[in-house]
Amino acid sequence: MSFTLSQIAGMLDATNLKLDATKAEIEKLCHDALAYSVATVCVYPTNVPLCRKILGSGDVGLAAVIGFPSGRYSSRSKSTEIDEVASMGASEVDIVLNYSALIEGKFDQVQKEASVLAEACRKVGLVSKFIVETCYLDHPQKMDMLKICETAGANFIKTSTGFGSAGAQLEDVRRWNEAKTTPHLKIKASGGIRTREQVESFLNAGATRIGLSSAKAVLSDESDGSYSNY
C-alpha cells in the first residue's frame, strides 16, 4: 500500500534528541513541523516550553521523552517528569521502560511500572508511548513487552530510543501487529528510519507512528542518509 505525503506527515514524530542540539535547531524543528503538518515534535523535557511557544495550540502535537535513554530511573522520578512536562504543555510522552529489569526476569516489576506510568499519563491527559529497546530483547521478551503494554493500557509500544545498538526492525513491528489483542495499543517505529521508502515499509508492517530526525527530508525528497538514528 502506498501513502500520500499528507498521510505520511500525519504519522511522523519529528524528533531532535541530539545531545548537543541548539536552541536554533529546536526552533527549526518546530517551524518545519508546522510547515509539513506532522503528527508531533519530540524533544527533551527542557525543550517543551520553547516548542509549545512556537507550535501554539494547533494540530501539531508535542511529545517529551521520559526516563531517557536508559529507562533505569525509578517509577516515581518518571511520574514526576510526566507531571512536569504536562504542566509545560506536552501532549504526549515517550517513556523508556526499565527493559533491563525484564531481561533479568523481573516481569512483574516492569508490569507494575508500566501500569503506574500509564495511569499517571491518563491523569494528566497525555498520550503514552512506551519504549522497550528491542535491540536488547529476544523474541519472547519482545512479546512480554507487548503484553505488558497492553495490560497497562498504554497508547503505543515503541521499538527504540535510537541510542541502542540497533533501531527499528520490520519483523518486530509485523510480529507485534499480528500478536496484539487490543485495538487501543498502537505501534511506533523509531531508530534508523531515514527515507520515505523505509517509512512506508514500517507503516505497511503495522506501525501507525514513525519517529525520525529526517521528517522534512522524507516529506520533501531531500533525504541523503546523513541523519541521526532516531
Annotated catalytic residue within 94, 129, 172, 186: 94
Average pLDDT on 48-71 reads 97
- Does any domain span residue 227? no
Q: Is residue 83 assigned to a domain? A: yes
**Which one, of 117, 107, 184, 109, lies nearest residue 144 by Cα?**
107
| CATH number of the domain bearing residue 48 | 3.20.20.70
Q: Is residue 225 situated within a structural domain?
A: no
Q: 129 in a domain, yes or no?
A: yes
Asked, for residue 226, whether it belongs to a domain, the answer is no
94 labelled catalytic: yes
User: Residue 49's domain spans which residues?
Assistant: 5-220
**pLDDT exceeds 60 at position 222:** no
- The pTM score is 0.95
The reply to whether 134 falls in a domain is: yes
The total number of structural domains in the chain stands at 1
Which long-range contacts link 45-48 to residues 24+ away (Cβ below 8 Å)? 45/81, 45/84, 45/85, 45/88, 45/90, 47/16, 47/21, 48/85, 48/88, 48/89, 48/90
188 is catalytic: yes
Catalytic residue among 129, 142, 158, 216: 158
pLDDT in tens, 105-161: 999 999 999 999 999 999 999 999 999 999 999 999 999 999 999 999 999 999 999
Alpha-carbon separation of residue 215 from 11, 18, 104, 220, 225 (angstroms): 10, 15, 36, 9, 12
